[in-house]
Amino acid sequence: MISLPGSSALVTGAASGLGAAVARRLHARGAAVVLVDLDERKGEALAAELNGLAPASGGAAPAGDGGAPAPARFVAADVTSGDDVQAAVAAAVELAPLRVAVNCAGIVIGQKVLGRGGPHELEAFSRVIAINLVGSFNVMRLAAAAMAANEPGEDGDRGVIVSTASIAAFDGQIGQIAYAASKAGVAGMTLPAARDLAAVGIRVCAVAPGTFETPMLAGLSQATRDELGAAVPFPQRLGRPDEFAALVEHAIDNPMLNGETIRLDGALRMPPK
């Protein structure tokens, strides 16, 4: 089992939404956290909050394990850049042995394969794949290289990597071709990555959330958000970021969770549109 106190955790997409919830929860458990994002204003603000230099804004977090608070550091980085991510990994290792990496960085672009304006823009498709899939792999490979140097734990464990898939990987809707493909790729690489990294004691999991209260939905009207929540069988509401963070935390804590993509969706199966 990974001990969070005395370890560092790298979280991408950490300036808001699911990533911010994960960062808060892991920091509250005693991990030193490196927040990776392109939004410097929000990233620095969250780092200040976690370091006790600004008022908390993300709601209550679980109690820590006592002792002095672990540090939090923001690193501006593009997850598709090898140099940027390597610098973020180095920042994490500088704080404490890197034992946790969580991929939450992602974007959505809605276009059909063939719409009224013509074929799907190739550049838009490539951008979604680059950030959501290639970016997740980039973080995975570089975090794993750092984790492999850790002293093994009781079960030989050296680290855990958790990526964010989506139910769109399985139930992609009209206009979600790029997003669904990227998230299916995240789900698809989870098992082979776990098998690749088993030899060095690194577990790999993914969480596939349904419709959650995130910045991706912030632009929708309240009526639309309520409609999306009502479509969830139970509970009939949007998921909350801390519920996602709680599952990530459990994946870190449970030594037998490995190579699995876990749906977190209230039994939702998305219709075509």
Q: Could you list the active site residues?
A: 179
Q: Where are the beta strands (DSSP E) in 130-260?
A: 159-164, 202-209
Please list, residue by residue across 206-221, b when 16 or more beta carbons sit within 10 angstroms of its beta carbon and e when fewer do: bbbbbbbbbebbeeee
The closest alpha carbon to 9, from 99, 136, 139, belongs to: 99
Assign residue 54 a region (left: φ > 0; alpha: ψ between -120 and 50; beta: otherwise). Answer: beta
- Round the CA-based radius of gyration of the chain to a whole number and report it: 18
Neighbours of 24 (CB within 10 A): 27
The closest alpha carbon to 2, from 107, 127, 110, 152, belongs to: 152
Using CA atoms, how far residue 9 sits from 97, 126, 147, 165, 240, in Å, is: 9, 29, 11, 19, 21
